[in-house]
Amino acid sequence: MARLILASSSPRRRELLQQLGLDFEIYSPDIDESVLDGEDVAAYVERLACSKAQAVLERFPDAIVIAADTSLGVDDQILGKPESKQHAFEMWQRISGRKHDVFSGVCVRTRKEKSSIVVRTQVEFQKLSLNDMESYWATGEPLGKAGGYAIQGIASRYIPRIEGSYSNVVGLPLHETAQLLQAVKALN
């Protein structure tokens, strides 16, 4: 099998991809993650995943590259990673006591092939009090996480149910990633 590279510095994506039993390297590209005018969350995450894959493929042209991007969608707006405590609180107020969607774009690229997909999972969040938000922020867990929470961590106490892929909410939908790898013959 060709050299397999995960185009991400996310420890969660690394841990998830290890669950597929693959040997891979990590190289995190630096790309512009600005949202384009009129871009919805599904198009955004797919574009970023494909841009990351392309950037890594340019550096390692004989590799098979896996790239992903995850963001939340609520009220037709994209919620990424919190930039500050205030920003995290604003995001939590938007998702508190309601459902929101988590989208991950995944792209697998080689020199000759490109396959991508967007996976959507609906997450229900309990109503959060100001004390809940203060306590959760103090854990440090929200930093660097789409929507300012980690379903696989402390935030699980605030999530009564999901509809769809759990690994998608963590940051890499494993079933769909395995299917994309099979499409480019990286898995047997």
Q: Catalogue the active-site residues.
A: 69
What does the H/E/C string look like for 139-157? CCCCCCCHHHCCCCCHHHH
